Structure 1
Amino acid sequence: MTHSYHDITTAPVRVKLEKSAENPYNLTREGALTDDKRVERYVAHTASFKLMYSTQRINDSVLNSLQQLADECGLIKQFAEMRRGAVLNKIHNYDSECRQVLHTSCRDIFSDSPKEANATGQARVEIEKLRAFLDDLDSGKIVNEKGKTFTTMVTIGIGGSDLGPRSIYEALKAYSKDSRVVHFIANVDPDDAARVLEEVDLSRALVNIVSKSGTTLETLTNESIVVERLLAAGLNPAKHCLAVTGQGSPMDNPQKYLRSFYMFDYIGGRYSSTSMVGAVMLGFSLGVENLDRFLHGASTIDDLAENAAIQQNIPLLLALLGVWNHNFLGMDTVAILPYSQALHRFPAHLQQCDMESNGKSINRQGQKLSYKTGPVVWGEPGTNGQHAFYQLLHQGTEIVPAEFIGFRNCQYQKDLQVSGTTSQQKLMANMLAQSIAMATGQKHENPNKVFSGNRPTSILLADKLTPETMGELLAIYEAKIIFQGFLWNINSFDQEGVQLGKILAGRILEQMQARRGNGDGIETQFLDVAENTANTTVER
């Protein structure tokens, strides 16, 4: 499947959008948010979420142009091709990974006619293996050496094998099975593993090691630390360790691991939370029913994302609004601001998913780009962030578009009224107020109290953070990122940017081994590698 599509530079509607960007909608004008029922009209829906975007600097003309941009760039066609197995992870005429992109197949398991039958078939095999394993845990068929059940899981992985799954676990702790706890070790910093192991009774713990290649330096190092601790406690690692890895990798070893679950080349690490990378841990902590609810939520968005009408397709609309702010209005970053403490690690996951996907400076033909691609993505939960960095969002010289995420109801249903309102009402009031304040600003005779306004925001609102809505939220942002990559005509599915550092780290480690004990310090090793690498081609 190879087609030629317009991109953001060649789409005919670009000229119209550039003209509109010269005088974008003024949110600070009196009546700007109430004219023409703007607040009611600028709303889009999924099964669970409402996207409120009246506080973006757009009008109907810009929306129509963005629709035209999506059509001219073939965004829906490319997304549909991706789901059906097109080889999109490639750079034409240059060496690249040259793979399909089929993370959506992991949650297409509920369909009678999946979009890519082979990949979904493999996902079904793995999910059935996982169901059987979890059943054996729950029934007591799998126990530790003393006949006791496993109550803890230690997941070892890094990057896409850590950030996404960890953020979802944190988001859904309220739905965890009684007595089931998960800990994570990611950083090769030995203090990360030491801290976790101080808190864990390894005799009751499963150790879940996650690496597609089976060769990830940080993951294998941390695995060795945990295995050494298991052995020191008189425990058999083969009865405690699970592997989530590529079939046939060095970690695909039944002599070494209690069970192996497979991840496949067509699923990129940062898009792998709904594969076995996330499912093994989430199935252990949430149980099978809640895991299914999470996967089903994601699958509903995958289907919705094929809707060509941008006002009925939240991921596509978010992508286009982001490109409007970034490429046409010149805003370099975007803040993801969840008004939910459970989502406190979700911005970190999106930071990786977005910046590793779209932090590219060549197009899919290998040509250097003349326009901006991925923005810097960052964020923290509200209301904490209001007391940290919102000063810059309101009055700083940098204009930062903000995407708020909120829920009408709290997870634990343990709330009470203080001064006439509940804590959840206070949380939502703050979120709505921040969005309005950033948009409309404030005039004042004291310049220190002037808020310039015209700082674009949007609000994603759902009833409650549940397994279904978490699945939806994850898939919304995955699809948003992919649509933006299509618009910029870049490969959002590789990550060459991490390779050079890995290679050079390997060289420095070799020097550390060779020079052990001769007094040479880190500075010497840095200089030697720098001199030998400058302006040379480094092969993998």
Structure 2
Amino acid sequence: MINWNNLDTLKSFEELKNVNKIDLVKAMSGESGAERVKKYSVPMAAGLNYNYAAKEIDDSILSALDKLAKEAQLTEKFEALYNGEVINTGEKRMVLHQLTRGQLGDKVMADGVDKREFYINEQNRIADFANKVHSGEIANAKGEKFTTVVQIGIGGSDLGPRAMYLALENWAKKNGTFKMEAKFISNVDPDDASAVLNSVDVAHSIFILVSKSGTTLETLTNQSFVMDALKKAGLDPAKHMIAVTSETSPLAKSDDFIEAFYMDDYIGGRYSSTSGVGGAVLSLAFGPDVFARFLNGAAEEDKLSANADMMKNPAMLDALIGVYERNVLGYPSTAVLPYSQGLSRFPAHLQQLDMESNGKSVNRFAEPINYVTGPVIFGEPGTNGQHSFYQLLHQGTDVIPMQFIGFKNSQLANDVVIENSTSQKKLCANVAAQIVAFACGKNDENPNKNFKGGRPSSIIIGEELTPESLGALLAHFENKVMFQGFVWNVNSFDQEGVQLGKVLAKKVLAHETDGALAELSKLLEI
């Protein structure tokens, strides 16, 4: 039997708060630090490795975290999720994004169908469509091949797919799988759509409209914007657009599209990169085989996340260390710092994934909770971030835990030697140096140049950013967020916080306002 209890009612949490804290500066200095780097490391899928040596943990804290994992029934709750129990209590829905990349447990039936078969069928339909576009069987009105794909969507329909595309763009070009350039339109600001349309040849562009409900205001507005541009160019929009939507959406059977591919209500937007939301654009851009490899990496990481042994489950371990930092050490934020230009938009995706999922102040039963939940997530790729906000990370008044991501090899492999080392070696040297600098600090008689250290971080290390390692990386963070939601007893799969602003915006546009809303509308000349 699974018990859904608040964190502050768990005996293991009280024990965790009383475990002696460690001195990270001392722990990471000298031979002690070297031994920690060797010891505190867990293999991930696709050749990745999670190293948490520079976190404020030791064996006693890990033992207490293991007790918390067991009392909070994290393994059992994940098993219930992938076996199709109603985990999204706010919307009374199952949570099935893992099924898009593999069957972890029992057959899951919903809406009268086997959901795994449903997702595979849609992936196959997308693959067939993409292959026909690449071969020219599906072409524009003149019979010419499409050369660019443009995704129209917002939130999870943009952030995840855009981050995944950028992550694999250079890899695909090097490996000969780059098929079509992809662009993205998300913001309802007309400057966004205009800029994208001005940068592409619309006559040779195919557009993907992504909206599960078929009613998203920003997305439908941008659809109309694009359709207008196509008409002005003398083109038939219906021969340039496809839809990714639900079968019950008004978009599903519309004559405005070449084809419609389906998703369902059991996959939240921020968890949809491995569904048709990411599948259509990535398959068109890189080919269906690359998308399949991406799914395989995610599936392998999901298998590790189902392991009941915390020390062999990197997502669970990462999640519990994060809970310790948030609820015992009191750290308010987490910085995600990928030392890979391909992952330049990955922190933006994780902002939505984490903050939309666990930014909650009531539990899964809509009861107020008395402890902090999700941290503020932010980040930029290294080394850019070093010349931006690292000053605050090193010497600011808040201690902000960091999650580094690094790869031994670059994607393009056309590096040059400058001052006895390649650019990639310099990049890797920077990330290693930053981890030690944050942890150990530096004593200086001048307070302005003194670094206290004790700033915790972890790093995920891989050989190269590939489709498989990207899939594993994505699944790791999705499962980390899930496990933290279980510990905090919140529903990580609804997002009521994004709804109120939408409702009020519609009132403004309908001129149904009063008070401050009316006056602000006047200021903006609405």
Question: Where on the TM-score scale, by shorter chain, does this alignment land: which range?
Answer: over 0.9
What per-residue deviation string (whole Å, max 9, x for no partner) do you get for residues 86-140 of structure 1? 10101xxxxx31000000000016x8x7653621111011011112112211222
Q: Distance in 1 between the 2:319 and 2:516 partners?
A: 47
TM (normalized to structure 1)? 0.92
Aligned to 2:438, the other structure's residue is in SS state: helix
Aligned to 1:97, the other structure's residue is in SS state: coil
The residue number in structure 2 matching 1:533 is none
The residue number in structure 1 matching 2:23 is 26
Q: Distance in 2 between the 1:419 and 1:464 partners?
A: 24
| Cα gap change, 1:179 to 1:85, in 2 (>3 Å) | closer
What per-residue deviation string (whole Å, max 9, x for no partner) do you get for residues 263-317 of structure 1? 1110000000000000000000110111110000000011110111222111111
Unaligned regions of 5+ residues in structure 2, if any? none
Unaligned regions of 5+ residues in structure 1, if any? 91-95, 529-540
Q: Distance in 2 between the 1:199 and 1:217 partners?
A: 24
The residue number in structure 2 matching 1:279 is 279
The residue number in structure 1 matching 2:195 is 195
Q: Give, in angstroms, the shift of residue 143 of structure 1.
A: 1.1
Q: Distance in 1 between the 2:179 and 2:216 partners?
A: 31
Residue in structure 2 matching 1:98, options 84, 87, 92: 92
TM (normalized to structure 2)? 0.94
Q: Distance in 1 between the 2:280 and 2:301 partners?
A: 22
Q: Give, in angstroms, the shift of residue 410 of structure 1.
A: 0.2
Residue in structure 2 matching 1:136, options 132, 135, 140: 132
Note if contact 1:5-1:72 (Cα within 8 Å) is conserved in structure 2: no
Q: Distance in 2 between the 1:500 and 1:135 partners?
A: 41
The aligned amino acid for 2:53 is: S
Note if contact 2:178-2:286 (Cα within 8 Å) is conserved in structure 1: no
The residue number in structure 2 matching 1:406 is 406
The residue number in structure 2 matching 1:524 is 519
The residue number in structure 1 matching 2:221 is 221
How big is the alpha-carbon RMSD for the aligned residues of Structure 1 and Structure 2? 2.0
The aligned amino acid for 2:155 is: G
Structure 1 position 453 matched with structure 2 position 453: yes
Note if contact 2:169-2:178 (Cα within 8 Å) is conserved in structure 1: no
Q: Distance in 2 between the 1:165 and 1:318 partners?
A: 24
Q: Give, in angstroms, the shift of residue 524 of structure 1.
A: 2.5
The aligned amino acid for 2:118 is: Q
Structure 1 position 393 matched with structure 2 position 385: no
Aligned to 2:242, the other structure's residue is in SS state: strand
Note if contact 1:6-1:72 (Cα within 8 Å) is conserved in structure 2: no
Aligned to 1:34, the other structure's residue is in SS state: helix
Aligned to 2:368, the other structure's residue is in SS state: coil
Q: Distance in 2 between the 1:413 and 1:115 partners?
A: 43
Note if contact 1:439-1:453 (Cα within 8 Å) is conserved in structure 2: yes
The residue number in structure 2 matching 1:153 is 149
Structure 1 position 71 matched with structure 2 position 70: yes
Q: Distance in 1 between the 2:520 and 2:6 partners?
A: 44
Aligned to 1:172, the other structure's residue is in SS state: helix
Q: Give, in angstroms, the shift of residue 217 of structure 1.
A: 0.1
What per-residue deviation string (whole Å, max 9, x for no partner) do you get for residues 63-99 of structure 1? 0110111011000110111111010101xxxxx3100
The aligned amino acid for 2:37 is: V
| Cα gap change, 1:431 to 1:249, in 2 (>3 Å) | same
Q: Give, in angstroms, the shift of residue 258 of structure 1.
A: 0.1
Q: Give, in angstroms, the shift of residue 12 of structure 1.
A: 1.4
Deviates more, 1:137-146 or 1:477-486: 137-146
1:50-69 aligned at under 5 Å gives the runs 50-69=49-68
Residue in structure 2 matching 1:120, options 112, 116, 119: 116
The residue number in structure 2 matching 1:535 is none
Note if contact 1:319-1:483 (Cα within 8 Å) is conserved in structure 2: yes
Q: Distance in 2 between the 1:411 and 1:135 partners?
A: 25
Q: Distance in 2 between the 1:179 and 1:297 partners?
A: 21
1:310-459 aligned at under 5 Å gives the runs 310-459=310-459
Q: Distance in 2 between the 1:233 and 1:78 partners?
A: 53
Q: Distance in 2 between the 1:56 and 1:338 partners?
A: 17
Residue in structure 2 matching 1:43, options 41, 44, 53: 41
Q: Give, in angstroms, the shift of residue 252 of structure 1.
A: 0.8
What per-residue deviation string (whole Å, max 9, x for no partner) do you get for residues 437-496 of structure 1? 111111111111111111110010000000000000000000000000000000000000
Aligned length, in residue pairs: 513
Q: Distance in 2 between the 1:378 and 1:324 partners?
A: 19
Note if contact 2:134-2:179 (Cα within 8 Å) is conserved in structure 1: no
